[in-house]
Every structure is written in C-alpha cells, then in structure tokens.
C-alpha cells in the first residue's frame, strides 16, 4: 500500500514535470526561433547608460532583435570580456573595449573585422586618430562610441579673483604656481585634483602623459624599461609635491569618477583629466559649477608630445559571436550619425557622444552648446599614438604601451606611484621599485635577457 502511494506520488510528479516542459516548449520555442538575442557587455559610464535607454528605438526598428545588457564597472568589464574571449566562451555578441585592447585582440584573431560597413555609415567621417587607434593593418576592428583626449579644467571665478589669465597652452610650471594661488582649504577648495588611485587605466593614464611631456618614455628601443631616469624623477616629484601641497585629502584613492564628483561640487580649483568630463561639468543638471568651469589644453612641460592622451570606448564583435550580422547592425546604429542626432534630440546637444565624428564638430548646434568643442577636437587631433615621446619608442600609444604585458606592468607601477603619493614610499624608492618590477616582468615574458 505504502509503495503504491509512493509510486502514485512519483508518477504525478513526473507527469507534472512533463507538462511544465511541454508548456514551456509551446510558449517559448516560436519566440526563440523568431528573435535574435544579442548579449552586450558594456561599461557603466554615463554615455553608455544613455545608449541603453535609447536602444528601444533600435529594437523598434529591428523587431527581430532582442537586446540583453550586461553593464559592469570598467575593471570588472575588462576581466569578464577578456576571460570570456580568451577562453572562447562565446558569452557576448558585442563587447565594449578601448583603443588599448582593440589592436592587440585583433592581432590575436579574437575580433571580427568590420570591412563591410554600409555606405551611409560614412567611415570617413570618423576622426582620423580615433580610427587609426581602432585599426590593425589598416582594417577597422571596432566602432568608436566616444573618443577622448585630456585637458585642463579650472574655475574661472577663482582664477579671476587671483588675477590669473590662462593661456591656450599652459605649462606644468604655471599649473604648479596657480595651484598655490587658488588653494584655499579653509573654504573647502583645493588647488588641484589629479588621479591618484592605482591602476594602469587610472593614475598611470595621467602620469604617462606627464612623463611624456617631461621628456620620458616607458621603454627604450631594446624594450629596456626606462623608469629610473631623470625625466621620470622630475615628473613624479612634481606630481607628488603639487598633490601633497595643494591636493585634496585622500587623493591616493581618487580616480576619474571621484575627481569628477569633487570638481563638480566645487572642491577643486583645477583638474587635468579626460575631455569627456567637459560635457558633464558644463551640464547644470550634474554640476554645481556649470557656469564657472573654464577649459584649456592639457599642460605641457619641455616637450609637447604626448601631453594629452588618446582613448576611445568602442564596440566590437568577438569572433565567437553567434549572430555577427545582427551584432554589426547594432554597433553601426549605436555609433552612427543618426544616433548622435537622437541623443541631441532627447538630451540636448551637450550630451551628444563626443570625439568620434567630424560631423558632430562641424554642426553649429553642437558648437554653440559645447564651448569646449574646439579644444577637445584639437587635443584629439594632436594626440599621436605613433610618436608619444620626444625620444623614439618601440611601442604605440600615448598613455599606454600597446603590448599585452602592459596591464601587469602599469598596474604594478601604479601601485608604487600611489604609495609615493600617500607618502609611504619616497619618490626615489617608488621609481627604483617600479624600474625593478618592470624589468622583472619583461624578463619573465622574454622581451629582454
């Protein structure tokens, strides 16, 4: 009897499972067959969030495509996409990558080349330096969503009060002097905010440009690290001194976002960082100093080369994508002229994705809404990834070195620089240890003996 009851329960259960399966198959199958589901990995920057919001326009125009978003913080995004692509996981159909990864991954054959773009996409409209940065052997491997260089932001009201006029091309010597003049911690204003958080894409992004313009470089032509040189010492000493004297407290944990928050709440007199912040700082919805922020080119010291960086966030299709055709339709839409216009329509021209298309910069509406447009355009145009330093380099890239090993070296050197900023190491110690770390790593990977 008991056994019978047990058997009954079991049979009912199995029938139930079967029914659920059948129902699921009936309801889900036709839909799954009809719709292509694209999985898109992207970074949680403001412009990408706007893209996510506006993508319902794309799905309305392409009813056969469904979008699934994986939005992650920059470092986590890099980890997820790299491990997925390197192990051929095939999890993503579209990935958001930067101009550092694109050529490296293209050389590995991890990305689909984008050589069959529709004519109305107008590839020639893309800004030349950005386009070169996303190409390998003359072929485009990713489409730029926004591009950036670096520039100087300052508070016009404070500078006026101190009687300073900023030339179009300031120098770091001037920046150091101005920082002392506008520094007023009693009223919660610090002379200068700069990146301090360690990481090859955080503090080293800025510090590489500083070193470049002080005449230094990462490697000599034999791939020997050149960190323990007078140029690096001068640049890093300048950085540590000016930040200790006129920087905000806790600077060694400030990255781009932290500094953006500090500047937009009026706590910084000056800030040198990505041009993409210009739109955010001028937007009264997001910035308390929107009417008082002024712009200049990134400062230079002895050499003008490589004092402003070049970066773009771009959309690419991994070789493992299941729906490359649909993926290409999406990335051409998200980086097209129509998309730029769509953002302008919904959020105003100031929110339009900057730094990718000539047509954005020739548009009178954009020029009027964005007083910084010319500086951004000139900074991007003058950034030259082929000649980042005054001396010849075996690598390409202004604020990075285009070899896969650079992530490790940049991260480790970044840690030592953050330690120098936090006064846990002297500048000399930080430089020496960085040189050793870089040498060790280059030897381990077989670049040098």
Partner 1 sequence: MTSSVATTQHSPPPSKKRSRKQIPTLALVAPSVIVLLLWMIVPLVMAIWFSLQRYNLLIPENREFVGLGNFVFILTDPALWTSIGITLILVASVLLITIGLGTLLAVLYNQDFFGRGIARVLAISPFFVMPTVSALIWKNMLMHPVNGLFAQITRGLGLGAIDWFADLPLLSIIIIVSWEWLPFALLILLTAIQSLDTDQLEAARMDGARPLALFRFVVLPHLSRAIAVVAMIETIFFLTIFAEIFVTTGGGPGLATTNLAYYIYLKALLEFDVGGASAGGLIAVVLANLVAIFLVRSVARNLDT
Binding positions for partner 1, rule: CB under 8 A: 1-2, 75, 79, 82-83, 86-87, 104, 108, 197-199, 248-253, 267, 404-405, 407-408, 411-412, 415-416, 418-425, 430, 440, 444-446
Task: State how far the Cα of 212 lies from the Cα of 390, in Å rounded to an integer.
Answer: 7
Our CB check for partner 1 shows the closer of 203 and 336 to be 203
Our CB check for partner 1 shows the closer of 82 and 378 to be 82
Our CB check for partner 1 shows the closer of 182 and 193 to be 193
CB 175, CB 299: distance < 8 Å: yes
In whole angstroms, how close is the CB of 43 to partner 1 at the nearest point?
A: 16
CB 251, CB 202: distance < 8 Å: no
In whole angstroms, how close is the CB of 279 to partner 1 at the nearest point?
A: 25
In whole angstroms, how close is the CB of 115 to partner 1 at the nearest point?
A: 24
CB 262, CB 247: distance < 8 Å: no
Q: Measure CA 127 to chain center.
A: 17
Regarding beta strands 135-136 and 139-140, do their DSSP bridges make them parallel or antiparallel, or are they unpaired?
antiparallel
Our CB check for partner 1 shows the closer of 306 and 414 to be 414
Our CB check for partner 1 shows the closer of 146 and 271 to be 271
CB 239, CB 430: distance < 8 Å: no
Give which of 58, 53, 26, 31 is closest to 42, Cα–Cα: 53
Our CB check for partner 1 shows the closer of 126 and 420 to be 420
**Phi, psi at 274, each rounded to 5°:** -60, 145
Task: State how far the Cα of 123 lies from the Cα of 428, in Å rounded to an integer.
Answer: 47
In whole angstroms, how close is the CB of 74 to partner 1 at the nearest point?
A: 12
Our CB check for partner 1 shows the closer of 183 and 329 to be 183
In whole angstroms, how close is the CB of 252 to partner 1 at the nearest point?
A: 5
In whole angstroms, how close is the CB of 429 to partner 1 at the nearest point?
A: 10
Our CB check for partner 1 shows the closer of 110 and 349 to be 110
CB 332, CB 349: distance < 8 Å: no
Which ranges of 136-283 does DSSP label H, i.e. alpha helix? 156-161, 172-182, 203-213, 230-246, 256-264, 277-281
In whole angstroms, how close is the CB of 388 to partner 1 at the nearest point?
A: 21
Q: Is 254 helix (H, G, I), strand (E, B) or coil?
A: coil
Give which of 121, 61, 48 is closest to 359, Cα–Cα: 121
| Residue 5 C-beta-side C-alpha neighbours within 13 Å | 2
Contacts with 325 (C-beta within 8 Å, 6 or more apart), sequence order: none
In whole angstroms, how close is the CB of 53 to partner 1 at the nearest point?
A: 26
Task: State how far the Cα of 56 lies from the Cα of 28, in Å rounded to an integer.
Answer: 22
In whole angstroms, how close is the CB of 424 to partner 1 at the nearest point?
A: 5
Task: State how far the Cα of 272 lies from the Cα of 153, in Å rounded to an integer.
Answer: 6
CB 301, CB 214: distance < 8 Å: yes
Our CB check for partner 1 shows the closer of 375 and 421 to be 421
Our CB check for partner 1 shows the closer of 133 and 248 to be 248
In whole angstroms, how close is the CB of 152 to partner 1 at the nearest point?
A: 23
The residues pairing with 37 across neighbouring beta strands, listed in sequence order, are 66
């Amino acid at each position: 009897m008991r056994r019978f009851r047990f058997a009954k329960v079991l049979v009912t259960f199995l029938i139930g499972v079967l029914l659920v399966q059948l129902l699921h198959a009936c309801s889900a199958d036709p839909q799954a067959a009809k719709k292509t589901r694209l999985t898109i990995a992207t970074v949680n920057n403001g412009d990408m969030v706007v893209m996510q919001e506006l993508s319902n326009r794309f799905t309305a125009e392409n009813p056969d495509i469904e979008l699934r978003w994986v939005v992650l913080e920059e470092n986590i995004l890099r980890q997820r996409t790299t491990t997925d692509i390197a192990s051929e996981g095939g999890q993503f159909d579209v990935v958001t990558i930067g101009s550092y990864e694109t050529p490296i991954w293209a050389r590995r054959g991890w990305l689909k080349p984008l050589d069959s773009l529709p004519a109305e996409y107008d590839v020639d409209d893309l800004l030349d330096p950005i386009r070169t940065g996303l190409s390998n052997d003359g072929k485009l491997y990713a489409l730029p969503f926004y591009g950036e260089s670096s520039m100087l932001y300052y508070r016009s009201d404070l500078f006026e009060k101190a009687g300073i006029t900023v030339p179009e091309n300031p120098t770091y010597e001037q920046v150091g002097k101005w920082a002392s003049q506008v520094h007023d911690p009693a009223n919660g204003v610090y002379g200068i905010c700069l990146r301090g958080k360690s990481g090859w894409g955080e503090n080293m992004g800025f510090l590489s440009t500083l070193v470049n313009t002080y005449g230094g470089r990462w490697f000599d032509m034999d791939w020997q690290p050149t960190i323990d040189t007078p140029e690096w010492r001068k640049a890093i000493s300048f950085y540590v001194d000016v930040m200790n004297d006129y920087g905000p407290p806790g600077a060694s944990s400030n990255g781009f976002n932290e500094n953006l928050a500090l500047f937009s709440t009026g706590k910084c007199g000056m800030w040198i960082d990505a041009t993409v912040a210009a739109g955010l700082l001028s937007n009264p919805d997001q910035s308390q100093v929107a009417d008082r922020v002024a712009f200049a080119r990134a400062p230079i010291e002895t050499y003008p080369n490589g004092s402003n960086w070049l970066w773009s966030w771009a959309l690419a299709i991994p070789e493992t994508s299941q729906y490359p055709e649909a993926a290409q339709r999406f990335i051409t839409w998200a980086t097209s002229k129509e998309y730029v216009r769509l953002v302008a329509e919904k959020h105003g021209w100031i929110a339009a994705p900057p730094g990718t298309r000539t047509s954005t910069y020739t548009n009178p509406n954009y020029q009027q809404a964005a007083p910084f447009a010319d500086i951004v355009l000139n900074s991007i145009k003058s950034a030259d990834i082929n000649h980042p330093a005054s001396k010849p380099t075996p690598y390409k890239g202004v604020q990075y070195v285009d070899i896969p090993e650079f992530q490790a070296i940049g991260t480790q050197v970044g840690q030592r620089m953050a330690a120098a900023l936090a006064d846990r190491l002297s500048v000399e110690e930080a430089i020496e240890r960085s040189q050793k770390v870089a040498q060790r790593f280059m030897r381990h990977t077989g670049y040098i003996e």
